Amino acid sequence: MKALTVCQPYAHLIASGRKRVENREWPTSYRGLLYIHAGKNRSWLDEDNYGIALDRMAFGAVVALARLVDCLHIEAIDRGDYDQKYPWLRDHEHTEGTWCWVLDGVSPIGPWPWRGSQGLFDINESELESIANRQLGIAQPSSADCREA
């Protein structure tokens, strides 16, 4: 599945449903499910951090699952071209452009440690599931268990 690394505190804001738009300098034609990965970089953090305590933020981990439903240019949004489709979009505090990636159906998950990457990248879902199960203390079936079944 595709994933996108987002700096903190923005990854946390997406996971909590407060940030419904991710801003990029480049467009994408991809639409569909997308893991939100919180990057390791802390340079975006400041005293405010949108009121989020530092110890509540994960770094270098998958923190949410979202559906990328649209990718819109800020000029079209500012003209009101999408007011009918997304009445909230033009006034949303995180609609800043140049390209606004519109997210829907966000669910927080993890955090599960994962190495990020630039651009859209692929995450092997079975590897991520294995990491999640280890963190949750769910035993993995052994190869002997599989043979006996």
Indicate the pTM of the whole model. Answer: 0.88
Lowest mean pLDDT across 14-23, 26-35, 79-88, 130-139? 130-139
pLDDT tens string 128-148? 998 888 887 776 555 444 444
pLDDT of residue 147: 41
How far are the Cα atoms of 47, 93, 95, 112 from residue 50, in angstroms, in the given order?
A: 9, 12, 16, 23
pLDDT of residue 51: 84
Strands 2-6 and 32-38: parallel
Residue 139 is predicted with a pLDDT of 60
- Which structural domains are found in the chain, ordered by start? 2-148 (2.30.130.30)
Q: What is the reported pLDDT for 141?
A: 55
Rounded to whole angstroms, the Cα distance separating 91 from 20 reads 12
Which residues are paired to 122 by β-bridges?
2
Q: What digits encode the pLDDT tens for the residues 59-82? A: 999 999 999 999 999 999 999 999
Given a cut of 60, whether residue 105 has pLDDT beyond it is yes
In this structure, what are the phi and psi dihedrals at residue 66, rounded to the nearest 5 degrees?
-135, 165
Percent of the chain surpassing pLDDT 70 = 93
